[in-house]
Structure 1
């Protein structure tokens, strides 16, 4: 049983137009509607909907179709339409139609009178007769004439149709005709009629990816469909419903798509053949072309879905003028279309069209065409630059020359890798590696595998990389030279570095060193040294191991710069920059700048992006600016560097949390945690999980924080370098929001103890910011202690600076240096500007000391902090702020219902809930009397509220007040955290 969609998908606009034209026809406002589109796009389906709607409304229906097969029959679609009435006895028999019966007899055999000599009526007479017939059968309900495939009709039929179009305006008749897109007499007729405003042309485009999904779901009567099924349908059908339907039926017939346990699933069946109906459609159109044009298209199909004109010309030897004529014929036959993205390129109209053409050729013919094309291309384009390399590789593969094809695909893959297109590089190199598998050349195969491992590392496919090496039984000392063997093991160890698989990487390094022996060449030793240095630092316990990692990196860098080995130098500089951050961000950025220069000089785009990424991270940590990170993110997306993309994303998530955008932080962290877990990128996965915990902690949501920290520890976070963040950035902050200062200090102590044993590069753990502030508040840190902290590298980060300036303010205030304390407060507030939660937490903490020591503006600070935490629903600390305000004898802001709906700008001016209600009505143009009635107060009270609003806002009159605040509405929220 064939599957078909029971509903029309993606044509709502077109159906609305058809319904409107049917209604207009019933009201004696006739018109023509032309449906234009490629084969299979859904023209017939829409005519079926039109016919069904017309019949349901009681309208008379006439249908006819043109044909491209068999002898040409004049007026065929019109004759079919009229005969559809005759067959069912619906031909009218009235006096008004009698004069036209002889003319209509040309279309209706039973109306012919043998006693009367045939008279050849003019086309105009026949057209008028058809028009009278349509009017006669319409009656009170109207009639519909549907003519399909008008592009295959004869010129006389077109002339009748043109006459009908121009004379339908006041008749109860709808004419609907379908035709193929592309230049033809039929489309010329349609567009000319549209220009005269007596017809509507509907161009049917392809279904969108979402609509293809809906179409498949309707065909299969299921919503939960495999992603790979939808991807295939979208790719191969290109939104053509007929092709999508044929593909579905082909998959089911071949048992590649089966229904099990109520769900559709793909099986391990072989690839699906091109549906017969698609092949037949393409073959029929090909047969209408001359032999040389068919040869051209056969050659083009061998070249692929897209093909350059120059390649076809070189492979066929067809003279240029004739070639262009054949291309035009292919376009008119709807087989090929000009490629809009690339001049002088064409593409087959559908992904399956080229396959359908190839099925008409024997394997021998395909191979011969491919061989001829490759032999013509390679001399024509010396060195096969750009796309020519990949094109030649595909031709060599089709010709059966697997070794040459493998080497060309490898070259194309390495070029893609050099250009930063890592996903494309993986595809090309995997294809090359597979083709080389049966070739007796282990060194060439090893070189291809080494490049593939590097590409797999960049896209995060560590499992695939390790599996390839495990399956490669030919990787051994007897088949490979030392250099190739070491390169493979070193490259696999680097895959482990990139994905945080420290023990796997260490095992590969041990193998590489064993192969190298006791006196290795300096260049090969440097390549192993730098990878081992990364492994030591990434999985180290600090102290001596960090020093060892730095020595190995410096040693590798010295050799790499002499050799030169640009990639090894970049690897060394990247690690040295990470280690140097603990001493000085300026020193770290010096290494990164050298790394950037080397990558640009030697054309290493991925290393360039990596250097810019680390510079961008430093910029965001020091200043909170993310402009450089944004640029790097776009570059990573273009290059397909998936792992780097997630590394940037988790930084975005952390900064979203710091800046109070918790919803965005949660969304990014969840997405990255899931993706990096699949990629086994452990370091970024753990960072995403601890970031999610921080999002809960910074909102005072302890239970959620603890659940997320459990997830972090389950992913190995309890043994990772991010554990100080769990203590100092999560648990300590959450404790402070709960007014548990002792708990915060305990958590910060745990973070410090871990860092003392395991130096790391995460500097927002409280050691250089929050902890000095708490020490200053507790009286255990003076100005000298704080200056010592300020001299550290971590103290230059903006997040830490805000707390450190507050700590200095507390210390100065305690000794009576009020001016110095005020200066430090100013610096603190400036540093805290991007971080609303930290800003108000800091104000709450220092307000206590300021009240006790008599300096600063603690009442204003407490009011601002209370406002923020109340709106953020962090109630414990908000209540503490109110309690301190009471102790200070300061009035508190009202908390009546609706207060949180007042925009922050107005609330800061002291506007009350009642005044805000008056303001909203005033903005909408209500006068005092109307306001009084609506609010159940007196006009005098309204006037008092208006006067108060004018006084508080500073506007001169009502109009100025309305104009000044018109953009504000009851939907505006006060400034606060984005939940």
Structure 2
């Protein structure tokens, strides 16, 4: 018989904790739990108990574990977890998951397409996609993800798990992870999550004497009190409370006959064997001696390959034919030493990680090294190409054989391949192993690769430290060129992170290594990074014209030298620089970037080009169709970062076009996810879009709340400040009939842009601000012409305001016909922008009345109708006042009861009283209310007295507070 306990002993508190977490997940209160303990302490038994209970509750269960082979395999436990569920349940077809299929394809083979995208999703994109998948799976009954042996997993998995742990609140998901208390990334994650109170961590203790006795009784199917005392004492002394060791040592007693049945109980045969070690090793050596020789040899070879092993690799190493191989495997399975690995049909796993370790340790050191050497040679002679997994296996075998240099070379090559595939964290792990083993001759090249891997994994400081520690190399040598390439790659990461000083230092180091005459390819790369550096705030060390010439030369050289990525970088830089000459020049650069990226299968650069072309198209014409196409391409690629960036632009376009529901739908869809994955630029733009939507609807308090969120996200320290002030603040002030505040916002925006060169053209500098200047008389023909000839004037949004400004100037100059023609152009151009259209009509009508041109009465009536229907009372009232002052009859607005909240309607509040009521949150004086509503102060006083009576408020202050509450609750 095998000594396996059918019940879990001594873990009642932990089982209670698991039950509580399962119940919480079913009520959308996600929890993360981690079990920490040594090998064999009972972590897997608790995971199995959790899975059993979850299945009983109808909850989907996803179970995976990291490999114990020592191989670094990105996302292995996650792939196994998803596969374990989808093999039985099939892949979900929920349309909510469609945008996440490309990212999840790395984990779910069924979602992989035949066409390889070539885009490596970032860890945060993959983590967000996994979080969405778990949310969908748990929608009805909650779901459970079980991840075992996290101490053995890769850095990418740790990063994904950390993201999931930090974002489970409010989701129907339970995450349970297990790991040993070994220093490493997984333990750091668990301790950090515990400190942040985002996870519960339980350290499993060893069993006490009574619990060991209960466990032994369960294994022997006998009451605990009938366990022979000698056996109990032996297990307590030698197992140290470890349940697995209790069972293994009990197995050995049963196998050797020193413990046997006697009637209804058990008896010991002979005195305890004092030579038997207190640990497991010699117990397994004894078991091996009792096995058939072919099975024993097979198991020793398999253990050399790790706690899990591949049948094809085992066959390569042993040279056994299929029939003999599978006969021996069946015998090994029957002994209980190994079992098929459920994650893959051609893999087996040892019953416990300790088993493989014990088998290998039972060999003499020389025999162990010889076996590893033979295994490594067999794999390398097999003729099979060495992928990353096999390369790591060969490296481990070389290390076990004592060949440190050979192991270092294999680890380094595997790390470089990981780096090329985008698995930066795993690349760092492998290259660090290689660096610790490398001989002096190889140390420099390994360190260079590690520095690049650290930079691209986000550890720029670590990369800079490594690069700075490299020993000198001979100038003009191949080593100097390779070292210079390393500095150049780190410089690109630094400039994208806007770390100007570090970028400049790396460029300087690269130039020194390349010498005065670098190759054309390296000169092009240097120019591109240097050009991007010149665009950083405070770093305009060169004139834009010189940067542009260098960038164009770099683009041409990169294309000639077969460096498409460098060419795309150069054309992207040229597109930014060309904006100052107009959008045609910028678009030409982006079209070339699009062609190159398509021809050379660079999907990320292709989508980058599509996004920028889409932005330019909608800014020039107001048409967002090309931007929608770019968004679809980003989603198809699986780039959540780019998709969210485009979402922000689409939301802003919807605001410009007064499509409020569309703007809200986009913002709600992406604003929280962009914050979770750290896409800070897109997150701020989405928040600003929400604020602009409120401002353009005349909802001042809602605007202030949205801007507060924008500021909390760092908006006032970003390049979006001009948009905040001009596009959002100034328009909101004009709809509130507060022209001095609007001018102040536009002046502040212009001042900011003078100190911070910007490529945002919606700030009002090229449209709204000149219009207000013309209306006030402060801007003349010359100033207008200067603005109208700038690239920013080409934007449809700006052009409509410039049309109005020119119409006012022409009217003052007495050219009524030309002024009318300008208004006709404005009428056609502004059709896509309802708010701006009617605001413009309201603004120019008074000038048209004064100078006797156009149809100002028609414009004011049109604007009043629009603003009244939109609930923008200050602007509607201002239109009515302007009509009265011009001697034009005004339609009385005695209707509008449907706009009054039911609680006020039932108390008899009239539409005219409600017009006063909605102004009270700002606490204006009677004279201000009278001016804005075109009524007398005495009438205002009468309406206020009526409102106090009808609402039951004791005084004006209380009435203002009540009005603020009611207005804030209105849609």
Corresponding residue of 1:40: 48
Corresponding residue of 1:815: 816
SS in 2 for 1:5: helix
SS in 1 for 2:436: coil
User: Partners of 1:245 and 1:454 in 2: how far apart?
Assistant: 31
Deviates more, 1:584-593 or 1:379-388: 379-388
SS in 1 for 2:472: coil
User: Partners of 1:564 and 1:417 in 2: how far apart?
Assistant: 21
Corresponding residue of 2:436: 438
Contact 2:723 2:763 in 1 (8 A): yes
1:745 to 743, 746, 750: 743
Alignment of 1:115-194 (within 5 A): none
User: Partners of 1:797 and 1:48 in 2: how far apart?
Assistant: 61
- The answer to whether structure 1 residue 5 and structure 2 residue 15 are counterparts is yes
Distance 1:497 1:315, change over 3 A: same
Contact 1:493 1:508 in 2 (8 A): yes
Distance 1:528 1:890, change over 3 A: same
Cα deviation, residue 528, structure 1:
2.5
- The answer to whether structure 1 residue 477 and structure 2 residue 441 are counterparts is no
Aligned residues: CA RMSD:
6.1
Cα deviation, residue 576, structure 1:
0.9
Corresponding residue of 2:273: none
Contact 2:487 2:507 in 1 (8 A): yes
User: Partners of 1:709 and 1:263 in 2: how far apart?
Assistant: 29
Corresponding residue of 2:889: 889
Corresponding residue of 1:864: 866
Corresponding residue of 2:828: 827
SS in 1 for 2:586: helix
| 1:416-461: CA deviation from partner (whole Å, max 9, x where unpaired) | 555xx53x2x0232023201222455775555555555555556x1
Cα deviation, residue 318, structure 1:
3.9
| 1:61-120: CA deviation from partner (whole Å, max 9, x where unpaired) | xxxxxxxxxxxxxxxxxxxxxxxxxxxxxxxxxxxxxxxxxxxxxxxxxxxxxxxxxxxx
When Rg is computed on C-alpha atoms for both structures, the one with the higher figure is: 1
Corresponding residue of 2:561: 563
Corresponding residue of 1:972: none
Distance 1:364 1:701, change over 3 A: farther
Alignment of 1:636-647 (within 5 A): 637=638
Cα deviation, residue 687, structure 1:
6.1
Distance 1:434 1:262, change over 3 A: closer
Corresponding residue of 2:766: 768
Contact 1:700 1:738 in 2 (8 A): yes
- The answer to whether structure 1 residue 466 and structure 2 residue 435 are counterparts is no
- The answer to whether structure 1 residue 336 and structure 2 residue 334 are counterparts is no
- Runs of 5+ unmatched residues, structure 2: 1-9, 27-44, 58-136, 149-158, 206-238, 253-283, 903-909, 912-968
Corresponding residue of 2:522: 524
Deviates more, 1:377-386 or 1:364-373: 364-373
User: Partners of 1:368 and 1:854 in 2: how far apart?
Assistant: 98
Contact 1:530 1:556 in 2 (8 A): yes
Corresponding residue of 2:731: 733
Contact 2:432 2:450 in 1 (8 A): no
Contact 1:732 1:743 in 2 (8 A): yes
User: Partners of 1:313 and 1:539 in 2: how far apart?
Assistant: 61
Corresponding residue of 2:544: 546
Corresponding residue of 1:28: none
| 1:373-414: CA deviation from partner (whole Å, max 9, x where unpaired) | 544444445543586556656666676655555544554555
Distance 1:274 1:477, change over 3 A: farther
1:492 to 484, 490, 495: 490
Highest relative contact order (Cα 8 Å, sep 6+), 1 or 2? Answer: 2
Contact 1:493 1:531 in 2 (8 A): yes
| 1:20-65: CA deviation from partner (whole Å, max 9, x where unpaired) | xxxxxxxxxxxxxxxxx9993469869999xxxxxxxxxxxxxxxx
Corresponding residue of 1:361: 359
Corresponding residue of 2:263: none
Cα deviation, residue 804, structure 1:
4.5
Alignment of 1:905-916 (within 5 A): none
Contact 2:447 2:466 in 1 (8 A): no
Alignment of 1:354-393 (within 5 A): 355=353, 357-362=355-360, 374-384=376-386
Cα deviation, residue 499, structure 1:
0.9
Cα deviation, residue 593, structure 1:
3.0
| 1:878-928: CA deviation from partner (whole Å, max 9, x where unpaired) | 5435655776534355665544799xxxxxxxxx99xxxxxxxxxxxxxxx
SS in 1 for 2:766: coil
Corresponding residue of 1:513: 511
Distance 1:257 1:812, change over 3 A: closer
| 1:694-720: CA deviation from partner (whole Å, max 9, x where unpaired) | 566556677887898899899997786
Distance 1:611 1:413, change over 3 A: farther
Q: How does the TM-score come out when normalised to structure 2?
A: 0.56
Alignment of 1:245-284 (within 5 A): 277=243
Contact 1:257 1:267 in 2 (8 A): no
Distance 1:581 1:472, change over 3 A: closer
Cα deviation, residue 513, structure 1:
3.4
2:315 to 309, 313, 316: 313
Cα deviation, residue 492, structure 1:
2.2
Q: How does the TM-score come out when normalised to structure 1?
A: 0.55
Cα deviation, residue 529, structure 1:
2.7
User: Partners of 1:717 and 1:854 in 2: how far apart?
Assistant: 42
Distance 1:606 1:268, change over 3 A: farther
Distance 1:594 1:385, change over 3 A: farther
Contact 2:488 2:507 in 1 (8 A): yes
SS in 1 for 2:543: helix
Corresponding residue of 2:612: 614
Alignment of 1:669-680 (within 5 A): 672=674
Cα deviation, residue 495, structure 1:
1.6
Distance 1:712 1:606, change over 3 A: same
SS in 1 for 2:576: helix
